[in-house]
Structure 1
Amino acid sequence: MYPRLFARDLFSDLDRFQREMSSLFDLSPSIRGAGRGGYPALNVGLSPEAVEVYAFAPGLEPGSIAVELDRGVLSLSGERAATVAPKSEDGNGAPSGRTIVHQSERFAGRFRRVVSLPDDIDPEQVDASYRDGVLRVSIKRRAAAQPRRIDIH
């Protein structure tokens, strides 16, 4: 009915481009854990008595996770092995009998997460445990730094 100024709809192309660029800088968490922080996903909480760090890392052996505390910086590192063989074909392009993976969303490889802690932690009072895929690190705070009520006479 009306002649188009451009061969394609320029505004729909610009809209698509804007959505693609926005997704590159999206900082929302995702199922892959690659959104804001990476793998493993972390929760960090503070209480008057301790700092609690939870790392969600299912499928790891507790001995394969390194937990280090140095000058107020907590480091969690390790490696997660791949559970599915990578895509493989024989010389004719046919599958070689192994599972062909077309898409893998499970993280595999080396990881390292670093958390800066408050100045009032006690590096001598650290407890770490791993249960049901969750690593829990609890670091006690020094008693002098805890809030207390002072009575007025």
Structure 2
Amino acid sequence: MNEVFTGADLFSELERVQRQLSSVFDGFPRSLRSSRPGVFPPVNIGSTDDTIEIVAFAPGLDTTKLDVSIDKGLLNIAGERATRERDLPEGAREYAQERFNGAFRRVIELPQQADPDKVQARYVDGCLLISVGKREASKPRAITVQ
């Protein structure tokens, strides 16, 4: 620890350490509930007093190739998004593609209060909307004090 960093040396050293830490933790979720980058379809999960609401952002799906099921507390979303023809001009090369194509499977662990007999799913405007009812015993209720 004899080295003393001053001015630009300190900031360049901090930048180097930050790059090293980023490379170590690259690919890990940013929070306990988030998933790694590139997972398809991305989802938002929330709840009301009566339901657990899942929105999977999956534009361009053929609903006949979409499978949604619940087994042992796990919600499975599987399907396939067809490859589109490229509209590149003659002689052009593609450098990047961010649109996911091909088969996918996403598994989401549901909370214990989820009732697998009360599930509805619909596909609207490129979003798969899944509503899972909660068990009656888990719903909030008022208790009368005597």
TM range (shorter): 0.7 to 0.9
From the superposition, tell whether residues 50 and 84 of structure 1 become closer, same or farther in structure 2 (CA, over 3 Å). same
Corresponding residue for 1:115? 108
Instruction: Please say if 1:66 is aligned against 2:59.
Output: no
Conservation of the 8 A alpha-carbon contact between 1:42 and 1:55? yes
Correspondence 1:137 to 2:130: yes
Gaps of 5+ in 2: 1-10
User: 2:126 corresponds to which letter in structure 1?
Assistant: G
Aligned length: 131
Secondary structure in 1 aligned to 2:130?
Answer: strand
* Residue in structure 2 matched with residue 55 of structure 1 by the alignment: 56
Give the counterpart letter for 1:45 in structure 2: G
Answer yes or no: is the 8 Å Cα contact 2:41–2:56 preserved in 1: yes
Distance 1:14 1:122, change over 3 A: closer
Whether the 8 Å contact between 2:54 and 2:130 is mirrored in structure 1 is: yes
> Are 1:152 and 2:145 counterparts?
yes
Aligned counterparts of 1:34 and 1:99: Cα–Cα separation in 2: 31
Identical positions, percent: 40
Write the mapping of 1:2-151 to structure 2, written as runs, cut at 5 A. 15=15, 19=19, 22=22, 25=26, 27=29, 35=37, 38-85=39-86, 97=90, 100-151=93-144
Cα pair 2:73 2:109 within 8 Å, conserved = yes
2:22 aligned counterpart, secondary structure = helix
Q: Secondary structure at the match of 1:115?
A: strand
Structure with greater Cα Rg: 1
Contact 1:84 / 1:99 at 8 angstroms: preserved in 2? no
Deviations 1:75-103 (A, max 9, x none): 00111122134x9xxxxxxx9x5864232
Once the two structures are superposed, what CA deviation does each residue of 1:2-52 show, in whole Å capped at 9, x if it has no partner? Answer: xxxxxxxxx969956953762671645xxxx962x6111101112220111
Letter in 2 for 1:124: D
- State TM-score, norm by structure 2: 0.73
AA partner of residue 118 (structure 1):
P
